[in-house]
Structure formats: C-alpha cells, structure tokens
Structure 1
Amino acid sequence: MAMVDRYRKSGGFNELLKVLETCNAKKREQIMAIIQSETPEWAAAIDQKTITFAQIISWESNVFLDIVSSIPSLQMAIALKSLTPAEYQVVLKKLSHQEQRKLELVYDEIKPTPVDISSGVFKVIGDVRDLIGKSVVKVEKFDMRLHIPNNFEATLVKPASKPPERPAQGTKGFQNSAFEAKAKVPAKPFDVPFYLATENRPEVLKNKIREITQQLALALQQNAQLKEELESKKKAA
C-alpha cells in the first residue's frame, strides 16, 4: 500500500498538502522521499502546488490584505517575527493604514520564542490553505500553478509505459543485419556476465534484503506518524 493511497479520495490531495506544508523540514523530507519512490507523479504535483510563508507575503497587496483580515492579528504577528525588520516593513506596506496599525500594536508587544515563531508560521500556512479551499483566496487569479481543480486526485496516475518497438521481420539494413549477426554469435561455456556473478552472491542478496526491509519499516513508521498527526489535527479542528 502506497503512502498516498488513503488520500486518493476527492479532496485528499488538499489534506495531504496541508499536512506536508505544516510539518518541519526534516519530517517533510522523509515523507516526500517515500512518496517520490512510490508515486513520483504525486511528488511532482505536491512540489508544484505547495505554498510557503515566503510566497504568501510576496502575493499582491489585495490578496495579502484578504489573508490578514481573515486571520487573527496575534497569529499573523507571531509569524511575521520570522522576518528581518526590513522585510517586515515591506510586508506592512501591502496593508491598509487600519490593518497596519492593528498589526503593529500586537507585533510590538509580543516576544515569542523561536518555537512559537516556527509554530506561528505553520499556522498561518495552514489557515491560508483553508482560505484557498473555501475560495476566499483564489489562487487561479494570480498563479494558476497553485490551482487544484475538482477531482484532481483522479488525474494523478502513472503514465502507461510504451512497449519497445521491435524491428520488422525481414527488414534489410545495417541495424537488422548487425542484430542478427550478434544473435548468431555462440555463447562461451560458463560465460556468466560479471554483474550477475556478483549481484547474486549470498552476501550481496542478504544486504539487499536487509536494505529493503529497513526501507519498508521506515515507510510503515512514517505512514503511522502521518495518520496520527492527521487524526490529531481533525480532533483539534
């Protein structure tokens, strides 16, 4: 069972995206490595549709203003503490005078810890993902790459591989003649290719089995953690 199988239902891609957008970089990297190995088409879509805090504060003024007015000022102020003073001033200029004043009053009073700031950034990203889902923020109006159409999950299928073309029988020419000539060369007795002789040695096979077992255990562990995190988020909501 692939890690993304539980998210193949309608709306599941959004759920998975939100989980990945709001977890720390190390955990996201581990989960994405598994998804990339199992379902590369999902990994590519996730990379394209993912939003970051840096993206959010770079959006047009009217879009960012809609976001700020929809999110508690304390939460946004904590997230903005992740910026340098110069970056913070640039972001403030995107807002109306009223919103600037309201945000500055909170920003100047709070002294969050680095953990609080990191958590605040993830909360803002999660809230923005919800605003996109409710069409409060319409990404298709300013960045179509972030747009997720209905039943998007159904389009994330692995393309069928095209079978290799075989040369037509009886076709004359250099390539066909060379192929036939090569096929007629008798094999030498006990002429075993080097890679087969080495890769099938017992110690090599044991190492491969051990490596696959470790990868499977890691995948199962990450899958369980992802499920627990999703359930806790649902309960908290």
Structure 2
Amino acid sequence: MGMLDRYKKKGGFVQLLNLLETSSKAKQEQFLTLISQENVNWEMELKKRVLTVDKIVEWPREPLSEIISRIQPLTLAVALRKFEGPKRDEILAVLSQSDKRKILSLIDETNPNPAEIATCLSKIVVEVRGLIQQGIIKLEKFNPDMAVPENMEELINQKGSSGVSLVESPPTSSDDSETKLDFSGASNRASAGNDKLDTLKDENDFLKKKVNQLTQEATTLRIENSVLKNKLEQIKKIA
C-alpha cells in the first residue's frame, strides 16, 4: 500500500496539504520527495498549493487585511520578526495606525527565539488554511492556481502516475479451461486490514496535529509571560 493511497479519497488532498503545512521545512521536503517517487502529479499539485507565510504576504491588500485582522497581535508580532524594513512596513500598512502601533510595541517588547518565531509562522499558516476552508478567504478570486477544486483527487488521479495510464489491460488467457483460484476471501481480509490501517493512520495524524496545536499554544503562553514580566519590571523601576 503506497503512501498516497489513503489520500486519494475525497478531501485527502487538503488533508495532505494540512500535513505538509504543519511540518518543518525538512520534513516537508522529505514528504514531497516520497510523494514524487510515487506520483509526480500529486507532488506538483501539492507544491503549487502548499501555503507559506511568504506566499500569503504577497496576496492583495483585501485578503491580507482580512487575515491579519484575525490573527492574535502577539502571534503577528512574533511572526513579523521574519521580515524587516520595507516588507514589514508593507505588511503593517493594512492595519490602522493604532493597531500598527500596538504590533510595533509588541515587537519591541518581545525577544522570541527562532523556534518561537517558527511556531508563530506555522500558526498563521494553519489559521489561513482554516479561513480558506471556511470560505472566508476565496483563492479563486485572486490566486486561482492555489485553489483546490472539490474533485481535486479525481482530477489528479485521471492524469495517472508520471504520465503512465492507470488503466491496465486485462490479462489474456491462453487456456480457457485453466483452473481459476478464488482469492476473494483473502482479498476481503486484505481490504479490511487496509481500512483498519487507514483508520489508525488518520488517528495518528489527528494526534500529531493536536500535539502541534498544543505546542503552539504553549509557545504563545511563554511569549505572553515574557511580555508581562518585562512590563512588571518596568513598573517596578517606575515605582
């Protein structure tokens, strides 16, 4: 059973996107390499549609403004450490002056490490994917190449693997009277086993996502705690 088999059902493409988008860069590349070896069409379509913060900040002002307005200020402030100078100003330009001052203040007050920055960037990607799935952000309007059709899995599977047709020619028999063995029982057992394996893998993916979510929340709490400590120190100095 190939890695892609359980993702070829409806909704599997987005499920695989979620897996890639919540993985580290190294893991993401490993997954894509494995996928490419199995089916280059899937790898190409996934790479085209996988979300990154770098892609998101290049979107038009309207969807970018909608996204930023829904991100927690602290998460945004930490994530903006990735950008400097004009690019950061360009992103902040979608905010009101008061909100912009708030974010800049948080940037000054925080001193996140690379892991915390990466966590906040990942959190933004997860939130944006959620907004897309909810229909709040409509990629079809400004970036149709990244949109995922409802029958995406079917469209890719129709292409076959590496340009090779998936339709196999039926085997020819030189002897019609040849004894035919009935493997239907074994086939059914194998199918049941595969279904159980799929369920276990889905549960494993869910648990991984939950761990990632909890890790992100813990990181956010640590950063918030750091900000509060800094403010407390400032208050003590004034007092």
- TM-score over 0.5 for the pair: yes
Matches within 5 A, 1:139-218: 139-157=139-157, 158=160, 161=165
What's the CA shift for 1:107?
2.2
Match of 1:10 in 2: 10
- Matches for 1:94-133 after TM superposition, within 5 Å: 94-133=94-133
CA 1:162–1:72 in 2, change beyond 3 Å: closer, same or farther? closer
**Aligned partners of 1:18 and 1:88: how far apart in 2?**
26
User: What is the alpha-carbon distance in structure 2 between the residues aligned to residue 4 and residue 108 of structure 1?
Assistant: 45
Amino acid at match of 2:209: K
By how many angstroms is 1:37 displaced? 0.6
- The answer to whether residue 208 in structure 2 is matched with residue 232 in structure 1 is yes
Structure 1 pair 93–35 and aligned structure 2 pair: CA distance change class (3 A): same
Percent of aligned positions with the same letter in both sequences?
31
**How many residues are matched?**
177
Ranges in structure 2 where 5+ consecutive residues have no aligned partner: 168-199, 215-239
The aligned residue for residue 62 of structure 1 is 62
Letter in 1 for 2:70: S
Check 1:134–1:31 CA distance in 2 against 1; reply closer, same or farther (3 A cut).
Answer: same
Q: Which residue of 2 aligns with 1:168?
A: none
Q: Deviations over 1:140-191 (max 9, x none)?
A: 110100111112112121155499xxxxxxxxxxxxxxxxxxxxxxxxxxxx
- Contact 2:82 2:117 survives alignment (8 Å): yes
Q: CA RMSD in A?
A: 2.6
Deviations 1:10-61 (A, max 9, x none): 2221121121122112111111111001121111110111121111111111
Separation in structure 1 between the aligned mates of residue 150 and residue 54 of structure 2, nearest angstrom: 26
Distance in structure 2 (CA, Å) of the matches to 1:16 and 1:161? 23
- Whether 2:93 is the aligned partner of 1:93: answer yes
Letter matched to residue 231 of structure 1: L
Unaligned runs of 5+ in 1: 164-223
Which stretches of structure 1, 4 residues or longer, exceed 6 Å deviation after superposition? 224-227
Larger Rg: 1
- Contact 1:21–1:126 (8 Å) recurs in 2: yes
Instruction: Write the distance in 1 (CA, Å) between the matches of 2:140 and 2:151.
Output: 16
Question: 1:161–1:11: structure 2 CA closer, same or farther, 3 Å change rule?
Answer: closer
Q: 1:140 to 1:21 in 2, by over 3 A?
A: same
Question: For structure 1, which segment, 22-31 or 99-108, has the greater mean C-alpha deviation from structure 2 after superposition?
Answer: 99-108
The offset of 1:104, in angstroms, is 2.3
Partner of 1:137: 137
Provide the rounded CA distance (Å) in 1 between the counterparts of 2:30 and 2:139.
28
Amino acid at match of 1:108: D
Does the Cα contact within 8 Å between 2:22 and 2:209 map onto a contact in 1? no
Q: Is contact 1:61–1:95 with CA below 8 Å preserved after alignment? A: no
Write the deviation string for residues 82-129 of structure 1: whole angstroms up to 9, x where unpaired.
112332122112323243233223222211111100111111111111
Q: 8 Å contact 1:17–1:50 — kept in the other structure?
A: yes
Secondary structure, counterpart of 2:57 in structure 1: helix
Task: Spell out, residue by residue over 1:61-81, the C-alpha distance to the aligned partner (whole angstroms, 9 max, x if none).
Answer: 111110011121111111111
Equivalent residue letter for 2:17: L
Return the alpha-carbon distance in structure 2 between the equivalents of residues 36 and 227 of structure 1.
24
Q: Secondary structure at the match of 2:44?
A: helix
- State which drifts further: 93-102 or 14-23: 93-102
